[in-house]
Amino acid sequence: MGGYVAVVVFIFAIVLVTKLVRIVPQGFEWTVERWGKYTHTLSPGFHLLIPVMQNVGRKMNMMEQVLEVPSQDVITKDNAVVRVDGVVFYQVLDAARAAYEVSNLENAVINLVMTNIRTVLGGLDLDESLSKRDQINAALLKVVDEATHPWGLKVTRIELKDIQPPRDLVDSMARQMKAEREKRANILEAEGLRQAAILKADGEKQSAILAAEGQKEAAFREAEARERLAQAEAKATEVVSTAIAGGDVNALNYFVANKYVEALKAMAGSPNQKMLLLPIEASGIIGSMAGIAELAKNALDKQVDSRQAQPRTPPR
């Protein structure tokens, strides 16, 4: 009998110690209730509670947690049905409020996020829903964080994982995108052809300008050459006239023979002449040539006489 009592006392002591000593792990906070009423919160570490009178109410996880938001069908502003799912990140800041202000905290957060997803996407077109995901996440975060603040929570982030339009709508969007890309390609090709035509026309313009400049320069050079040739011809005529006026007949013979030879040369070089028959008197040409030689001899004798007539300087 005494042994049985000892065993009962030992078991009672163990239960009493377990009710008395409480060790809260890191990252958690426990609420304490006295006769069922909340009194205070236990932080991580070692604590002592009065058995029977005090007990642990709720064990709250104070670390940041992630909840999966189930996928749901949402109707956009332009009556397109899309399927949306996501994730929500939150952290408990006040263990007592999270424990006693709301029942089934995780379920409440999930349903709140799902409701606001329908509200936000319902005010946007399909294109905006697909392209403005960052703005949607920011709007959801603001609304949900304000709604969960009385629960002692801090919603840190909400992300929409996937937005799936209907299959036929996806195919239509793909065709629209393809047509838009083909349109851009045609515009770029036309712009390239236009630019090439402009560059080609500009090149031809510059080439014509340069050709005109070249023709102008060539004409100027040709006119200058003709002017010099005319000056030389005038000088030669003047020299011959002076010689004739001085009584030198051979100068006249030289002038006539020169013109005669030039005329023959021009007729012989004509492309329309296949055969040339002219009554040419050989003695006249030979006489003219003799006159040319005599003229050259007289000019040489005059140069020698002029040199001999110059006074010589006696040597010192």
**In this predicted model, which residue has the larger pLDDT, 241 or 87?**
87
CA dihedral 127, 130, 134, 135 (to 10 degrees): 30
Structure tokens given for 208: 């014509």
CA distance 163 to 76: 11
Q: State pLDDT tens for residues 181-202.
A: 888 888 988 998 889 889 888 8
Q: What is the pTM of this model?
A: 0.54
Task: Give the distance from CA 126 to its chain's centroid.
Answer: 29
Q: What share of the chain in percent tops pLDDT 70?
A: 73
Q: State the maximum Cα–Cα separation within the chain, in Å, rounded to a whole number.
A: 184
Q: What pLDDT does 315 receive?
A: 47
Q: State pLDDT tens for residues 146-170.
A: 999 999 999 999 999 888 887 777 7
Q: What pLDDT does 218 receive?
A: 85
Q: State pLDDT tens for residues 19-47.
A: 788 889 999 999 999 988 999 999 999 98
CA distance 48 to 50: 7
Residue 163: closest CA among 208, 112, 120, 223: 120
DSSP class of residue 36 equals: T
Whether the Cβ atoms of residue 93 and residue 154 lie closer than 8 Å to each other: yes
